[in-house]
Structure formats: structure tokens, C-alpha cells
Chain A
């Protein structure tokens, strides 16, 4: 196998090392510590080898070391899951190869692994930021492969040329992306391991505290009408009706709530698009009272009698849907049986029971009962905190009468329990509250915006939303989670401190807004592009989405690709050259094609004198005539080119005559 030259080797080594380090960074959270160390050590070794002559490692040493690494990987395989283990394996293999790269084939092999690692990175993160980041890594990989056989081209020119070649490929890739059929998965694949899976279907107070620490994106909503005020942003997702004294959950009956039948929507509304990140839950997010306008996701979505939007399929794909929310309408349903919303455990939480039994609710309306019960939060020193103490037994009693510290799920759970004890049908609702305003019409909701509140049933008004947390921490609703936390609690949020400080200074706010808009469009147009989107395009282009039109769509794309290739490789420059074409230039070009090239230092006359002995008399005569006309036209002030052109035609005829085939240069001189 051919070794690279020293200079070439050094450049390719540096570039490969940079690329490997670049690819390793975002994968670090999924790699074992020793694999990360091994990866960066191999990068260092590669750089040193490029700079200093080093003895090469023996194959047996590398083989033994790789066996050792394989054993360790197998030992930790179950802790990391199949996908992460495979990525660790790839990084280990790449690192070991990196240590002993010599030939072009070695660099090619490493480049192939780089491409796999980049693709693996996209399994974990598909945001536009990472797409740009990995796009750079992808470019570096191609620079490495280009440098291997660049010839005498400089590094900067090689980089430029690589960029040109890659950019040229983008339009074709876009066309294929648009028309290539989207197939269902071929087989079940190992899922990425994740601890942040969205909202849980069961809630034991304290559970949401884990979510509150995550700054991951839950969803983005783009409003086409006015945006709701922060206090109105209750993104409803899960309704829990069953309480066992410790945990709130969804009963089977609630899960199988009938789909919403005909409903007369009226009044003012918010129109918006929700772009929800993939989660492990089938429940989607909406503001009250929702109506599904359009589904742009892969799987169908429905609306049930509880006004919950849900998908029948939980998948790794995002859900994109358009909703109208009639915020003036009551959340009511046609059902009459509300007994399950009064269910309480027979035992436990005795203090709360006694507290409610001691109260008199006679003659009070539902709202009055709610207000009366909620007084417990306003008259006592309750505190909103993300660090509540553990309450493993009788949590409501402990929360209300002992600790009086907690976060939304503690307040909502206690309130819903007390309402049920007071005979008011109630349920606990989880979802998100608030969200950050970005880029004019967009609200970004993150996992730390997760919230829980209560819905109580009023005979006339339907389900009334009541948020007890708002009584204790009004800032949580008005300005978001951050403003309701003290400095030590802010540390719990998994978001860059520097970023937050910059955000507070407003330095990058506008930049971030632009970025959010870009990411939102990226999610919709690229990540959310599926078979339905294809059909929509076909429908827009051809009027109807049927097989015939789909095939036409495909054919048009292929013709487009062929046209692009033809236009890219035709000699446009030659055809549309700005150089003036003179008869003498045409003649010189013709002679050059026959193998007779003029020296730089030769005059036209000298050139003809040199080559004419090899021609027959007719051609010599034509050339002599041309020579005379040439000097007459160019140097004797004769502006008329007609005689020169006529002489040229004679030369062309003589050159293309039968005999001209014998005009082969005996000793062609080519510069």
C-alpha cells in the first residue's frame, strides 16, 4: 500500500486529528470515560507522529490492546445500552487505527468511521446547531480525503476545492431528499437511553422536580394570531383521576375516554402550530379549549372528551400539528357521571381529612369552596421550592401541616385531594406552564416549565382550572420558573450559567430569537418532512396526490438531476469566453489540434516556416496566403478582415482535405 509523502502525511495527520477531536466533543456524554481519554490520547499521538519521527507500534501490541478494550466494552455493555456501546466500539477502533496510520488506505478507513460517528451523533441530536456543527465535521472529513491526492495544490486551494465540490452536491441531495420515498422502519432498533422523557403518566409529589431540572426543549408553538399572556399559558397534557394516597395516576377508564364528537366551537381563539419534540408519552400539548385544525406529523392525532390531544403511536418522530384554542369557552363535556373524580383512599392523610371535615361548605358554590380551601395556602407560611423534604408517608398531611414547602405537584395534589374530600369532583392535570417568548410569534417551552394544577367541576361552568401554586409563588406564572427560584435553586437547572447571564444582559437575545426561528423552521421543514409532506407537494404541483403524479414527481426530479449534471459539466467557459476570437487564433487552434503548437517566443511567420516543410504544396500555399493577409491586416493599417477570413477558409479546407490526414508532425513541439 502506498505511503504518503512526508509533507502530505503531516498535513493529513493534523487535519484528521482536528476532525476526530471535533467529532468526539458532542459524543462525550455517550462515551465511557476511558474511551474519551483514549480518543484524545490518540489525537495527541497522531499530532506528535506528524511532527516528530516516532517508532511504529508493533501489530501484536495493538492487537492485544484492542482485545483488552473489547473485553472492557463487553463488561459495561449492559450499563450503556446497545447503541452507546456500538458508538464506544467505533471510537475505540478509530482511536487504535489513529495511532498507527501510515498509508492512504488507513486515512480512508478512518474517514469512513468518521462518517459513521457523525451519523450516530445525529441519532442523539438533530437541532440545527448540531447539524451545522456536524456539517463542519463532515467538511473536514472530505478535506482529509481530498488532501490525500491533491498533487501540488496548496492546502488553502484544496480546502476551497473541497468546499466547491461539496456545495455542488447540495442541490442534488436536496432534490433526492424531496422525492425519495419515506419507508417505514425495516426492523426495531435500539433506542437512545434517556432520562428526560417528558411528562410521566403517574405523579408522586416530587416526581416533577426531576423534570424541572432539565432545560431540554419540550415543544415550540408558533402563533398565527395573538399570543396568550404568560398567565394564560397552561399547556394541558395529562389528566389524572386516580389517587391512592401517595400517587396520582390515570385510570383505565380515563385512558379510554371517548373521542370528542361534534362540538360547536365559538368565540375568540388562538391559532397556533405546535412542534413537539419526540417523547415517551402519547399525550400532546394544547391550550384550552382545543380544536385540531391540521396534523402535519407522521402519525394521526385525536382529541378526546377531556380535551386532550393525543397520538395513538409513541415514536421517535416529532409531532407537528395546528390547533385552534377557544379560550373563552368552558371546558365541559356531555358526561353526567363524575363519581370517579370524587374517589379518595379509605385511609391515610388523617389530618387533612379532619381539617376538611371541620369546615362547613353548605350553600357555597364550587368557586367559593375552592377559595375557602385554598385559604390554607395564603394563611400559612407556605414556600415554593425545588428542594422539598422527602414525604414518603401521608404526603398531603406532611406537606400541609408539617413541612409546608414544596413545588407545584405538592400544591396541586393536596388541593385536588382536599376538594374531593369536600365533595367537589376534581382531578389533577399535568402539562407545562408559561414558556419563553422568542422571535415575535414563537413560544419555546422547555422541560423545566413542567407544571401541575387542578381542575374542579362546576355544574354550570364545567371544569374550572385552579392553580394553587400561583397563590404561593405568583412569579412562577408571571415570569417563569427562574424568577420564582433563589440563586441556589437556579443551579438545579441544567442550563449554561454563562448563557443565562448573557441572556439576562440581553446581549444575545436578538441573536437567539433569530436562531430559534431558524430552528423552528428547521424542525418543521427538515425534521418534520415525511410522506404526508411529499404528498402535499405533489398535490400542490399536480393537483392530486395519486400514484401517477407521484411517479411523475420522481421522474421530474431525475430529469432535474440530469439537467443539473449536464449544465455543471458543459464547457460554458469555453463557449462564452470573453476572449476575442480572431482568424489567426482559429488557425492556431486548428494547427494545435493537428499537433503543431507555436512556441511562446515564435512569431507567426517563424512558426509557419518551421511547420510548412511537413505539409503538401496546396496547404503550404494556403498558409502562405494567410500569412500575407495576416501581416497586411494587422500591421499595414488595413482594417478589413475579409481577405484574412477568406484565407482562413482556404486553410481550413486544405487542412480537412483527404491529404491532410497525413499531416502528422514529425517532431511536434508542444510548450
Chain B
């Protein structure tokens, strides 16, 4: 019951945050997506102001009362200064390059400032981490920044909701807004060294795989690859198009040529994550030596090819392995600190 309530609470909060967030990579802050509250220091100063009012009244001391009123007006102005300081900034986040799991990823971006306030600090908060970015003394110069992201496990992740914060001036008020990064972060498995086991198409074992492919496709299907202009239209896999995965071409056995294959099933004795790590290493090793190879992950096959694009596609498939293909692009998972 408590778990359900908690879940509902977090869902409602997330919806609210999404509604009120700057919501794209180029975030502009305004009255609709900016929040402001006193900081702990601000609350303390409000307390001090009240105490001074009582002290000044009890001692009938006009000077103490004047100090109290001065603090009130400083607090009042601090709200406006902090708000205008915060909203004079725009933040453009760059998409995060795909990387391997358990590596420190960097979130890069640029802060643009167009306003009267120079200096100050902006904070980026996510996953309970706070990064302070000291801003330039020149109010109108853009400033790049990079901050560490938490370590992620293999998969396709949505970046955490980033809270941009500011406590400009004396630090009495905390102004913040949320940025939701729309692009996903692809995290490949890390590597585990091993010798490559390449299968030729003439292998008996390979033949059996081909047979199974034939069963499923009934057309000597070898695998799929991204569509290029010279491909015949009748080779387009409309099933993939319907699933929203873009134009892909079906490759048939005749076209496969004499290339080697990396097969996940070779490592069935290993834990699946470990097997993916081994394959990941092999893909990189083969890619480095510019070898032509194909990838057979069982449900997904990539025809033998070479080059960086091919390497990226193979690694991407490793990152997606085991994730529902329909939701591959949309899967949201929380980063897991390792």
C-alpha cells in the first residue's frame, strides 16, 4: 500500500516536473517554469528579522527596528534579483555520446547570459549530485561547461531530470527550474578480453542458423541493415517500418559473401551480460583491424560489413539486447550507480 502511494506520489511529481520543466536541450527560463523558495540561510535570516523585530519592540529601540526593516527590504529585493539573474540565462545541453558502461560520462552544454547580472553561480543538480558552475564576470559571454554523469549500466537510458539552480546575491533564495533532456543515452556493455570466434557461412553450425532464419523468414534471410538508395524497394522490411524503426533492408544469403560471424550463442555457458561484454570486446578488436564481420544475437542479425558505421550499429545492438525492441528508443531507466 505504502509502496503504491509512494509510486503515485513520484508519478504525480514527475508529471508536474515535466509540465513545469524547460523541457528541451535549449532551455529558456521564465515565470512559467521557474520556482523560487528561501534557502536554509534565507529561512534563518527571516527568523533573525523576526527576532530583531521583537528585540527592537521590547527595547523600544528604533535603530534595531531600522536594521530589521532593512533586512526585510533586502530579502524582498533578493527575490527579484535572484529571479532576474536566473531567467537571464539560457542553457543549451549537448547530446551525450554513446559510451561504455561504468565509465564516467560527461554532460556538456553552454550557458548563454543576456542581462545585467555578471558573475554568480549556477548549479546543476541531478541524482543527488550538485555541480556548481562559476559564471564569467562578463555578463554577455557564452560559457561552456561539462559535468560528470553518474555511471550507467548497459542499455538505453533517458538522462536524469536536471534541476538548474541559482542562489544569486547573498544566497537567501533558491531559484530553480528543471530541464528534461529529450535524447537518449546509449550505454554499451564494457569489454572482457577473449579470442574472437568467427564463424564462416560454410560451417555446419552456421548452416543450421541459416536454416532457422529461413524458417522464420522463408526467404534465405541473412539479416537486416540500414536502407541505402540503391537497394530494391521490395527488399525493405515493412515490418520494421511499421514498428517505427525506420527503413531497413533485408539481406539475403546470396549477398552475404564470405565473411565471419560473431555469435552470442557461442557463449551460452556464460552469464548473458558477461557474454555481451566478450562480444563487445571482439567487435572492437575486429573493428580496429578493419575486419569484415557479422553479428548474430539470435533475434537480431547484422550482415557482415566493416567500417565505423557498422561498428556503431553492432555496439548499439549489444546495448539494446534484451530490451523490448518496440520500446528500444523510448526505454527510460534510472541510472544505477555502480
In contact, A146 and B169 (Cβ under 8 angstroms): yes
* Of A113-121, A490-498, A627-635, the one touching chain B: A113-121
A466 interface residue, CB < 8 Å from B?
A: no
- CB contact between B77 and one of A111, A145, A169 (< 8 Å): that residue: A169
With a cutoff of 8 Å between Cβ atoms, the chain A residues found around residue B77 in the complex are: 165, 168-169, 172, 565, 568
Residue of A nearest to B166 (CB): A149
Which residue of A158, A569, A671 contacts B119 across the interface (Cβ within 8 Å)? A158
Residue A72, interface by CB 8 Å: no
> B312 near A: Cβ within 8 Å?
no
A residues in contact with B71, CB < 8 Å: 115
Report the bound CA distance from A319 to B84 in whole Å: 46
Q: Which residue from B26, B70, B121 sits with its C-beta under 8 Å from A173?
A: B70
Most buried by B among A151, A185, A573: A151
- Given the complex of chains A and B, what is the CA–CA distance between A192 and B177 in angstroms? 49
Task: Give bound CA distance, A227 to B52, whole Å.
Answer: 41
Question: Is the beta-carbon distance between A595 and B63 smaller than 8 angstroms?
Answer: no
State whether A176 and B171 are in contact (beta carbons under 8 Å apart), knowing that A122-B61, A126-B63, A165-B77 are contacts in the complex.
no
Across the interface, B73 reaches (CB within 8 A) one of A116, A172, A189, A668, namely A172
Among A2, A119, A171, the one with the most B-chain Cβ atoms within 10 Å of its Cβ is: A119
Contact status A183-B57, CB under 8 Å: yes
* B63 pairs with A526, CB closer than 8 A: yes
Whether B66 and A526, one on each chain, are in contact in the complex, defined by CB atoms closer than 8 angstroms, is yes
Closest to B73 in A: A172
Residues of B within 8 A of A171 (CB): 73
Chain B residues contacting A295 (CB-CB under 8 Å) are none
Query: When chains A and B are docked, how far (Å) is the Cα of A267 from the Cα of B1?
Result: 94
Contact of A149 with B121 in the complex, beta carbons under 8 Å = yes
- B106-136 residues with Cβ-Cβ distance < 8 A to A are 110, 112, 116, 118-121, 130, 132, 134-136
**Chain B min CB distance to A8 (Å):** 9
Of chain B, the residue at the smallest CB distance from A183 is: B57
CB 8 Å contact bits of A322-358 with B (1 = contact, 0 = none): 0000000000000000000000000000000000000
CA distance A138 to B132 in the complex (A): 27
Q: Cβ of A603 < 8 Å from any Cβ of B?
A: no
Q: 0/1 per residue, A78-107, Cβ < 8 Å to B?
A: 000000000000000000000000001100
Asked whether, in the complex, the Cβ of B135 is within 8 Å of the Cβ of A152, the reply is yes
Contact in complex: A2, B130 (CB < 8 Å): yes
Given A122-B64, A149-B168, residue A112 in contact with residue B45 (CB < 8 A): yes
B81 contacts partner chain A, Cβ-Cβ < 8 Å: yes
A-side interface size class: 35 or more
A183 to B55, CA, bound (A): 12
Cβ contact within 8 Å between A185 and B119: no
A515 within 8 A of B: no
Report the Cα distance A467→B136, complex, angstroms: 75
B69 an interface residue at 8 Å Cβ cutoff? Answer: yes
Judge if B258 is at the interface, Cβ distance under 8 Å.
no
A32 contacts B by Cβ under 8 Å: no
Contacting residues, chain B, for A569 (C-beta < 8 A): 80, 84
Residue B48 CB within 8 A of the other chain:
yes
Shortest Cβ gap from A151 to chain B (Å): 4
**Does the CB pair A145–B170 fall under 8 Å?**
yes
* A-binding residues in B (CB < 8 A): 26, 40-41, 44-45, 48, 51-52, 54-67, 69-74, 76-78, 80-81, 84, 92, 110, 112, 116, 118-121, 130, 132, 134-137, 142, 167-171
A-B residue pairs in contact (CB < 8 Å), sample of 22: A108-B171, A112-B41, A115-B71, A119-B55, A126-B62, A138-B67, A142-B170, A146-B169, A146-B170, A151-B137, A152-B137, A157-B137, A165-B74, A168-B77, A169-B76, A173-B73, A177-B65, A186-B54, A298-B60, A315-B60, A526-B62, A568-B80
